[in-house]
Amino acid sequence: MSIPIYLDSHATTFVEPRVLEEMLPYFGEQSGNPSSPEHYHGAAARAAVDRARQTIADCLGCIEARDILFTAGATEANNLALIGSWRASSGQKQHFITTAIEHPSVLATLDYLAAQGAQVTRVGVDAWGRVNPDALRQALRPDTFMVSVMAANNEIGTLQPLAEIGQLCREAGVLFHCDAAQAVGHEALEVEALQVDFLSFSAHKFYGPKGVGALYRRGTEPTIPLQPILFGGGQEMGLRSGTLNVPGIVGMAAALRIARDEMEQENRRLDKLAAAIFARLQQAFPAIRRNGSPQHRLARNLSLTLPGVEAAALIQLLKDRVSFSAGSACATAKPEPSHVLKAIGLSDEECYQTIRLGLGRAVQDAGVAEMLCAGIAAAPVFLD
């Protein structure tokens, strides 16, 4: 069997060969512990981490490299931003504002904080999945501590108006956290221009390795207080204990540098490819609908509702040829309809008839659309 075509780049991406090449020495002769800089191996590892931190800070327009804190990924970065900043605060402000379509690593963390006494407002989104900054403004209260809004949605690809949100948070004196796991490496994000205080991301979403990510924390003008949520050796300025994942960090920096350099061209290509795949599918199945914002979207996203076709059955039918996801969260045996799709107005039934295609560097032409068309036509899953 040949390897199926990979169309699940929102879930993860493969390590780019150029990235792997830069990582390899740090699994071998350079694999010292950066916390032991007194000898050759430790110093080499420390220098590599310092270089990587600088590269990442430069790519995101940070004032200081030390504003980047390395974590095990966006989940941990989201937990650290939300829990750590609240713990570091005076406790006077209890209120968090977020949106109905955030990733579970934000929503579940806010549920945890709510159990500790925080109050959380989840603001809805429009039919395209965009949050209206006016709705956020109206949700602000004198005791609002933080607004947490994702940069790009992991199911429908919609981009949020981050600059406007950053501006309104700054004016209101409220912290702004952004889960940018789907956008870093794919969209040009500058922390200063966005006036963001915290920004979370994971390397494996932009062709870096899994298990490594970072939290940007504004360290100057003004410094945002933060307390650790992991305790131990005091790495990362005491804010994230644990031996640093040096090959992962080196790989993340390489992946981000390459992504930044190639972003414009790649996004133009993906945009055209997504449009071509959609046009072909629409020709065969006129009832198909594309979810998410037509203008403000990740170029690689195709969230498609196929009336009458059960997504889970289609995935099974095509799994030897194409790897893609359903639009529902499938963590449990009985998948719940996606909270994102429901928030943009889809019925439960439509949620189960929605697939998510994530295009990427491995997909060079729209030929995959033929496979999808054949799969949909052959699917013994037409409900009527």
Ligand X SMILES: Cc1ncc(COP(=O)(O)O)c(C=O)c1O
Q: Which residues are identified as catalytic? A: 330
Q: Whose structure tokens read 């602000």?
A: 140
| Residue selected from 9, 13, 55, 75 as contacting ligand X according to rule CB under 6 A | 75
**DSSP three-state, residue 353:** coil
Distance CA 365, CA 269 (A): 10
105 binds ligand X (CB under 6 A): yes
The smaller minimum CB distance to ligand X, of residues 85 and 99, is found at 99
Close Cβ partners of 31 (under 8 Å, ≥ 6 residues apart): 41, 45, 246, 247
93 binds ligand X (CB under 6 A): no
Please state at what angle helix 246-284 crosses helix 40-59, rounded to 10 degrees.
Answer: 40
List the x/- string, 207-236, binding to ligand X by CB under 6 A.
------x-----------------------
182 binds ligand X (CB under 6 A): yes
Q: Exposed (0-12), middle (13-18) or buried (19+): which is 315, by Cβ within 10 Å?
A: middle
On whether the CB atoms of residues 297 and 283 are closer than 8 A, the answer is: no
281 binds ligand X (CB under 6 A): no
Question: How near is the Cβ of 170 to ligand X at its closest, in Å?
Answer: 23
Q: Locate 3 and state its tokens.
A: 């390897």
13 binds ligand X (CB under 6 A): no
202 binds ligand X (CB under 6 A): yes
| Residue selected from 179, 236, 266, 350 as contacting ligand X according to rule CB under 6 A | 179
79 binds ligand X (CB under 6 A): no
254 binds ligand X (CB under 6 A): no
Report phi then psi at 55, rounded to 5: -60, -45
Question: How near is the Cβ of 21 to ligand X at its closest, in Å?
Answer: 23
Distance CA 97, CA 119 (A): 9
Distance CA 183, CA 73 (A): 14
The number of C-alpha atoms within 13 Å of 140 and in the hemisphere containing its C-beta is: 18
Distance CA 153, CA 129 (A): 8
The footprint of ligand X on residues 154-173 (CB under 6 A) is 154
Q: Which stretch binds ligand X (CB under 6 A): 175-183, 221-229, 278-286, 373-381?
A: 175-183
How many residues at the interface with ligand X, by CB under 6 A? Answer: 13
Amino acid identity of residue 253, one-letter, is A
Question: How near is the Cβ of 72 to ligand X at its closest, in Å?
Answer: 7
181 binds ligand X (CB under 6 A): yes
Question: How near is the Cβ of 23 to ligand X at its closest, in Å?
Answer: 17
Question: How near is the Cβ of 280 to ligand X at its closest, in Å?
Answer: 27
Neighbours of 280 (CB within 10 A): 17
The smaller minimum CB distance to ligand X, of residues 103 and 257, is found at 103
Question: How near is the Cβ of 212 to ligand X at its closest, in Å?
Answer: 9
Buried (b) or exposed (e) across 95-129, using 16+ Cβ within 10 A? bbbbbbbbbebbbebbeebeeeebbebbbebeeeb
73 binds ligand X (CB under 6 A): yes
The smaller minimum CB distance to ligand X, of residues 93 and 103, is found at 103
Question: How near is the Cβ of 308 to ligand X at its closest, in Å?
Answer: 28
186 binds ligand X (CB under 6 A): no
The smaller minimum CB distance to ligand X, of residues 13 and 154, is found at 154
Neighbours of 25 (CB within 10 A): 15
| Residue selected from 74, 253, 277, 346 as contacting ligand X according to rule CB under 6 A | 74
Instruction: List contacts with ligand X (CB under 6 A).
Output: 73-75, 103, 105, 150, 154, 179, 181-182, 202, 204, 213
